[in-house]
């Protein structure tokens, strides 16, 4: 299930300090952001895109989009290997720009497709995933290579934890 928002999502403000039961792990929302809580009830604030972009108030997940080009000439084939280094298939990669987003080595880029795109991709045997390699985002395609260009919604989230 995907949530599509035209504006960045902002963390809700809380009046009290939430907690998780002792001996469990979880995320809690505090006024200044999300915190990872370990089983010993120690917390670490999770860095956000705002932290990277200069510390605007609130915690923001950037909603953006990527444009991918159609045609085999725009995709680089790579062998997919199993754990024994046997070739089990081919994937095709294309370096993309994530529009209006700062991509760091710690950015996680998730792609969301519309219901219309889901039908098209199913019929054309297309599946996409984005990978971030030290700040360079590559969209990989398995199945067939897309014949047409597509615009896909992308969500960028910083995933490292500040100590």
pLDDT of 26 higher than 90: no
**What stretches of 49-119 adopt beta strand conformation (E)?**
60-68, 76-81, 87-96, 107-112
Q: How far apart are CA 135 and CA 9, in angstroms?
A: 22
Instruction: Check: CB of residue 161 under 8 Å from CB of residue 36.
Output: yes
Higher-scoring residue by pLDDT: 111, 38: 111
1 has a pLDDT exceeding 60: no
Give the pLDDT mean for 156-160: 79
Q: Is the pTM of this model over 0.85?
A: no
Taking only the tens place, the pLDDT of each residue in 70-118 is: 999 999 999 989 999 999 999 999 999 998 888 888 888 999 999 999 9
Average pLDDT over all residues of the chain? 76
**At 40, phi and psi to the nearest 5?**
-90, 10
Residue 47 is predicted with a pLDDT of 54
23 exposure class (CB count in 10 Å sphere: 0-12, 13-18, 19+): exposed
Residues 52, 158 contacting (CB under 8 angstroms): yes
Segments making up each domain of the chain, as ranges = 9-55, 63-158
């Amino acid at each position: 299930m995907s949530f599509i928002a035209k504006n960045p999502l902002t963390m809700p403000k809380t009046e009290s300090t939430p907690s998780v039961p002792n001996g469990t792990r979880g995320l809690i929302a505090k006024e200044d952001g999300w915190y990872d809580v370990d089983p010993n009830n120690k917390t670490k604030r999770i860095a956000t895109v705002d932290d990277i972009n200069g510390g605007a108030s609130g915690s923001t997940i950037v909603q953006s989009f990527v444009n991918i080009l159609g045609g085999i000439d725009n995709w680089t084939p790579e062998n997919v290997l199993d754990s024994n280094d046997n070739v089990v298939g081919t994937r095709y990669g294309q370096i993309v720009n994530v529009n209006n987003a700062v991509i760091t080595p710690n950015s996680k880029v998730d792609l969301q497709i519309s219901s219309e795109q889901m039908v098209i991709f199913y019929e054309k045997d297309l599946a996409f995933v984005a990978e971030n390699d030290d700040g360079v985002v590559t969209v990989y395609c398995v199945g067939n290579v897309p014949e047409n260009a597509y615009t896909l919604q992308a969500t960028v989230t910083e995933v490292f934890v500040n100590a």
